[in-house]
């Protein structure tokens, strides 16, 4: 019998749960879109391993099962606005046999300010945007359509601008189209560089995916083991599932795979030795995963900053204001644990870098002003790693740093 757990694959887990609130918002958007009432794009934001792709796949399945049209865009396959326009035009032709009207491009004088203050070719950009809007309008003309964009933080800026402007134009004209973007926490500043304003109007359509909690987290592991192998998960193991994974979806799948492999095929419950074997294998996989994350932070010159932010976050009860994080980054930079970088980053750039890595992010469940850990146990791992590399002197050096002391005094966190 094949192991149904496939951690890191992006495929649907054997048990899907804990995202009912997100799916409820999606269902509401789709229901309105069917009536020609479009609320605008829906955005899924979370660090890596939090289940964005899995949730997006569930949304795709729901639309397809209801007879709707689904168009999935892969940012790496769309290098230019023209490539986007051609891809969407092809989707229309292959799906409905309708050619896209392409006006002859006329040379325009001057340009229009686009991204980052650069001057863009008004003719080409606006023509491509018009073609995108026309295609999206036709895709959603015959019935409900879903435009799904995973890894949206990798969209080239000019392609993203063209897609967002075209999507808005098509929506205003009445297409029955729901768009869903999924990406890491740096998706928001990425969209802001495109000079689009829809983010401020998202309201509850911006879904910041949290760690799974309680029964939802345990069920992700326990239900497949029970349903497919008849293996019972007792209360002690349920508690270990939560303590070992903290509800992090990727780790839940890793632990489920380890438990599946550790139990004899004829077992109906987990013996202590099987649980111990699974826990050992899980810990090895977890260590490899965290070491890769540490290497990424080191390559970007952010390891000292990550260490200091982790220490400040623990001191402040698990959440930091951006000002506190910047002060901590300055202190961590002075520890000297990072190799010299060609350009010395500012404290603001270091916080942005940690956000892009998913080490911290604006994912506080009730207060979006605060930065919280992407994976709480990763912070503990980074603290141990840096402390060991500096012969356990890192904590003392940090505590003596004035910026770190200010970070821990400034504005009480929840």
Give the pLDDT mean for 111-135.
Answer: 65
* pLDDT-derived band at 388, boundaries 50, 70, 90: confident
pLDDT class of 275 with cuts at 50, 70, 90: very high
Residues 226 and 233: their CA atoms lie apart, in Å, by: 8
Q: How is residue 129 written in tokens?
A: 């945007």
pLDDT in tens, 70-79: 999 999 999 9
State how far the Cα of 365 lies from the Cα of 236, in Å rounded to an integer: 28
SS (H, E, C) 345-413: CCHHHHHHHHHHCCCEECCCCCCCCCEEECCHHHHHHHHHHHHHHCCCCHHHHHHCCHHHHHHHHCCCC
At 105, the pLDDT band (50, 70, 90 cuts) reads very low
CA dist., res. 400 & res. 391, Å (int): 16
Given pLDDT bands bounded at 50, 70 and 90, which one contains residue 123? Answer: low
- Look at the alpha carbons of 367, 371, 374, 376 in this order and tell me if their dihedral is positive or negative: negative
Are 232 and 68 spatial neighbours (Cβ–Cβ below 8 Å)? no
pLDDT band at 88 (very low <50, low <70, confident <90, very high): very high
**Which whole number is the average pLDDT over 282-299?**
95
Euclidean distance between CA atoms 53 and 229, whole angstroms? 27
pLDDT at 310: 95
Per-residue pLDDT at 367 = 86
* Count of other CB atoms within 10 angstroms of residue 119: 10
CB atoms within 10 A of CB 200: 8
**Helix H or strand E segment including 5:** none
Alpha carbon distance 169, 185 (integer Å): 26
The answer to whether 135 touches 85, Cβ cutoff 8 Å, is: yes
CA distance 358 to 273: 35
For the beta carbon of residue 102, count every other beta carbon within 10 angstroms: 14
Distance CA 238, CA 222 (A): 8
Q: Does the pLDDT value for residue 23 go beyond 70?
A: yes
Residues with Cβ within 8 Å of 242's Cβ and at least 6 positions away in sequence, in order, are: 214, 217, 218
Residue 96 pLDDT grade (very low, low, confident, very high; cuts 50, 70, 90): very low
Of the candidate ranges 188-192, 222-226, 268-272, the one whose mean pLDDT is the lowest = 188-192
pLDDT tops 60 at residue 27: yes
d(CA 159, CA 157): 5
Pairing relation of β-strands 119-120 and 177-183?
unpaired
**Residue 97 confidence (pLDDT) above 50:** no
Given a cut of 60, whether residue 117 has pLDDT beyond it is: no
Residues ≥6 apart with Cβ < 8 Å to 127: 102, 103, 105
Mean pLDDT computed over every residue of the chain: 87
DSSP state of 103: P
Which position has the higher pLDDT, 93 or 89? 89
**Alpha carbon distance 362, 355 (integer Å):** 8
Q: What is the pLDDT of residues 197-212, one digit of tens each?
A: 777 778 889 999 999 9
Stretch 130-153: mean pLDDT, rounded? 92
**pLDDT digit string (tens) for 304-347?**
999 999 999 999 989 999 999 999 999 999 988 887 777 789 99
- What are the tens digits of pLDDT across the range 160-200? 999 999 999 998 888 899 999 999 998 888 888 888 777 77
At residue 114's C-alpha, the angle toward residues 113 and 117, to 5°, is 70
CA distance 139 to 89: 10
pLDDT at 112: 41
DSSP 320: B
Q: Within 13 Å of residue 146, how many CA atoms lie on the same side as its CB? A: 26
């Amino acid at each position: 019998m094949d192991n149904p757990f496939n951690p890191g694959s992006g495929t649907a887990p054997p048990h899907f749960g804990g995202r009912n609130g997100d799916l409820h918002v999606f269902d509401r958007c789709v229901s309105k879109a069917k009536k020609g009432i479009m609320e605008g794009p829906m955005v899924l934001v979370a660090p890596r391993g939090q289940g964005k792709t899995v949730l997006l796949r569930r949304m795709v399945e729901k639309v397809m099962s209801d007879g709707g049209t689904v168009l999935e865009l892969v940012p790496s396959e769309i290098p230019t606005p023209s490539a986007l326009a051609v891809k969407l035009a092809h989707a229309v032709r292959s799906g409905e046999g309708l050619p896209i009207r392409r006006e002859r491009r006329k040379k325009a004088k001057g340009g229009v300010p686009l991204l980052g203050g650069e001057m863009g070719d008004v003719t080409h950009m606006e023509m491509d945007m018009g073609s995108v809007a026309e295609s999206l309008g036709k895709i959603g003309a015959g019935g409900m359509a879903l435009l799904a964009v995973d890894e949206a933080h990798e969209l080239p800026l000019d392609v993203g601008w063209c897609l967002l402007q075209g999507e808005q134009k098509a929506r205003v004209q009445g297409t029955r189209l729901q768009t869903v973007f999924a990406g890491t926490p740096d998706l928001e500043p990425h969209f802001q560089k495109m000079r689009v304003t829809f983010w401020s109007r998202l309201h509850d359509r911006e879904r910041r995916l949290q760690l799974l909690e309680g029964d939802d987290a345990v069920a992700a592991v326990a239900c497949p083991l029970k349903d497919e192998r008849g293996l019972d998960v007792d209360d002690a193991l349920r508690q270990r599932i939560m303590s070992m994974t903290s509800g992090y979806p990727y780790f839940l799948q890793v632990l489920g795979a380890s438990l599946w492999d550790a139990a004899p095929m004829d077992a109906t419950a987990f013996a202590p030795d099987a649980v111990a074997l699974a826990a050992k294998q899980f810990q090895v996989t977890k260590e490899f995963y965290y070491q890769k994350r540490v290497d990424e932070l080191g390559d970007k010159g952010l390891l000292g900053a990550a260490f200091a932010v982790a220490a400040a976050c623990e001191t402040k009860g698990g959440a930091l204001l951006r000002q506190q994080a910047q002060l901590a980054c300055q202190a961590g930079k002075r520890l000297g644990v990072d190799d010299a970088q060609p350009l010395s980053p500012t404290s603001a750039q270091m916080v942005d870098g940690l956000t892009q890595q998913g080490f911290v992010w604006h994912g506080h469940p009730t207060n979006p002003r605060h930065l919280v850990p992407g994976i709480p146990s990763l912070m503990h791992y980074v603290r141990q790693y840096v402390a060991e590399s500096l012969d356990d002197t890192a904590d003392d050096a940090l505590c003596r740093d004035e910026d770190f002391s200010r970070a821990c005094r400034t504005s009480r966190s929840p």
